Structure 1
Amino acid sequence: MTPQNQTVLALLSQHEEQIIAEWLQEAGAAVGGRATDASRRAMQTEVLEIVAGVRTALEAGADPQAFNGADWTALRQSLETLSRSRAAQGRSAADTSTFVLAFKRPLFTALQRSVPDAQAQLAAVWAISVLVDKMAQWTVSTYQQTREDIIQRQQQDLLELSTPVIKLWEGVLAVPMIGTLDSSRTQTVMETLLQRIVDTGATLAIIDITGVPTVDTLVAQHLLKTVSAIRLMGAECIISGIRPQIAQTIVHLGIDLEGIASKASLADALALALQQRGYSITKSAV
């Protein structure tokens, strides 16, 4: 262990309670009046875990320059837990790194009180700065990855919610499409719809594109792939919601929808589906 790391370890061993108290005070001042009793207790738990992780790593002779090493695993895990928790709470990466960087001031204060030698102080200041900076960098990296995971999961949830498969009648399913169709979304629609066909034994699926703003060659190809997959499952398909401008676009693009039933509205498509299934709808006398 280097002399400067020994100095940092000695500071934590001899002045731990004071360092923790000053760190909490520093971190609390950064958030101002936003801190609640629950958040203060959570902050205290986080500080205790981080200090324990630093002390354990230094006792094992770990070098802050090799922060990815095995000796720093416990500390990295504590920092990852901190970052994920704050990301889930909607806190910013800046708040998270500021909280970690607040660890410097109490260490510097304890260093000034305990180490009178200027050269030893300078070496310890550098060691503290390297260690705390790497801790802050780790929290930011983990925070960013956590936010990306959250955003990706939310996008997937929204994608699934935006493509529901609805049972309209016995043997008749409908998929109302809203928004832009791309390869990823089409794949999700196809998988969900085919699974529902298997689960319900449906023989006809209505794909409603009323909420699709534009239809280009790519969108049409996605629709044709979905129709082909449905037919391979032994079911038929009706496309509804083809507005006049979309019909003109399809014609101008030379897209061949021959053999695929299409209707202007979902109501018309349902009426056709019921007719194909042998149902007739009559208005009862009032």
Structure 2
Amino acid sequence: MALSAEESGRLTGLLTEHAERITQRWTEIAAASLRGRLSQAELRRQVQDLHRGMVSAGQGGAFDLDSEPAAELRAVLAEISRGRARQGFTASETAVSVYAVKEVLLGLMEAEAGTVTLRDYVAFTALVDQMGLFTVESFVRTRESLIADQAEQLLELSTPVVKIWEGVVAVPLVGTLDSARAQVVMERLLQTLVDTGSPYAIIDITGVPAVDTQVAQHILKTVVAARLMGADCIISGIRPQIAQTIVALGIEFGDIATKASLADALRHVLRLSGVDAGRRHPRRES
């Protein structure tokens, strides 16, 4: 929704002539909807930035939110939306702070009945609605970006690669192994193999609730990738139920060593390395 040059001029004149009154009342209305979750000083600064952006956009002739003169206003709306999204506000709370100017303009127009018409008010509110929609869209994009970042961080935290012995690293998997997570597992394992120079890697699936054909394929791809890096892989955590499922599905791990537990896998690797992994019994006092 764009205002004509005449409508834009009347709106700009109204905003400029009553600048202090508008920002004060706008801040009060917006503050009531936020219930003290934002400081009065910060909210007033945001309202003043919005007011200044509207005046700047209206001075360019026809007031169009998509136009070049409205670039400052769009930047302010986007900045407020991003900040509110990171601070935990809702999209409604963010948009209401913009829509609050409607009530302020209505009060001013009632006082300026001879200058501003009802048609002007309808046009002004349609423009404010467009500003609110722009705010919500910016808010949603920011929230989606935050959620994606958090999901990636959780994915990395849920797939740790740890060094459990000299030359031995382990990947304890917990939960479902989908394509996205399998890719993270592979990347982290390969990077750890490069960083540590470890010739052995243990993939422990004790915490994987079920192994189907897709999960098995992900594991096999990880093993092949590790072998290309010069590391031998051992799969541990093969519980009886999982073993039966693997047999029933006809999944073959080929020459990949499999063990029932992480401890068994570590003992196997130590034997391959020539390390005495036998149990040591305490000496008896004579």
Within the candidate set 70, 92, 99, 2:90 is matched to 92
Once the 2 structures are TM-superposed, how far is the Cα of residue 176 of structure 1 from its aligned partner?
0.5
Q: 1:24 and 2:21 equivalent?
A: no
Which residue in 1 is equivalent to 2:44? 44
Q: 1:107 and 2:105 equivalent?
A: yes
Q: 1:253 and 2:245 equivalent?
A: no
Cα pair distance change 1:2/1:62, threshold 3 Å: closer
1:163 and 1:28 mapped to 2: Cα distance?
Answer: 44
Once the 2 structures are TM-superposed, how far is the Cα of residue 128 of structure 1 from its aligned partner?
1.2
Deviation string, structure 1 residues 185-227 (Cα, Å, up to 9, x no partner): 1111101110110111000000011111110000000011000
Q: Which runs of 5+ in 2 are unaligned?
A: none
Secondary structure (helix, strand or coil) at the match of 1:129 reads: helix
Which aligned pairs between 1:1-286 and structure 2 lie closer than 5 A?
2-31=5-34, 34-35=35-36, 39-64=39-64, 67-116=65-114, 120-281=116-277, 282-286=279-283
RMSD: 1.3
Q: Is the 8 A contact 1:5 1:127 kept in 2?
A: no
Cα pair distance change 1:62/1:172, threshold 3 Å: farther
Once the 2 structures are TM-superposed, how far is the Cα of residue 284 of structure 1 from its aligned partner?
4.5
Deviation string, structure 1 residues 91-141 (Cα, Å, up to 9, x no partner): 100111111100111111112212325xx4112102211221011001100
Q: Is the 8 A contact 1:4 1:123 kept in 2?
A: no
1:73 and 1:257 mapped to 2: Cα distance?
Answer: 60
Q: Which runs of 4+ in 1 moved over 6 A?
A: none
1:199 and 1:46 mapped to 2: Cα distance?
Answer: 48
Q: Which runs of 5+ in 1 are unaligned?
A: none
Secondary structure (helix, strand or coil) at the match of 1:210 reads: strand
Secondary structure (helix, strand or coil) at the match of 2:280 reads: coil
Once the 2 structures are TM-superposed, how far is the Cα of residue 69 of structure 1 from its aligned partner?
2.0
* TM-score of the pair, normalised by structure 2: 0.94
1:274 and 1:265 mapped to 2: Cα distance?
Answer: 14
Q: Is the 8 A contact 1:5 1:124 kept in 2?
A: no
* TM-score of the pair, normalised by structure 1: 0.94
Q: Is the 8 A contact 1:108 1:125 kept in 2?
A: yes
Secondary structure (helix, strand or coil) at the match of 1:115 reads: coil
Q: Is the 8 A contact 1:62 1:71 kept in 2?
A: no
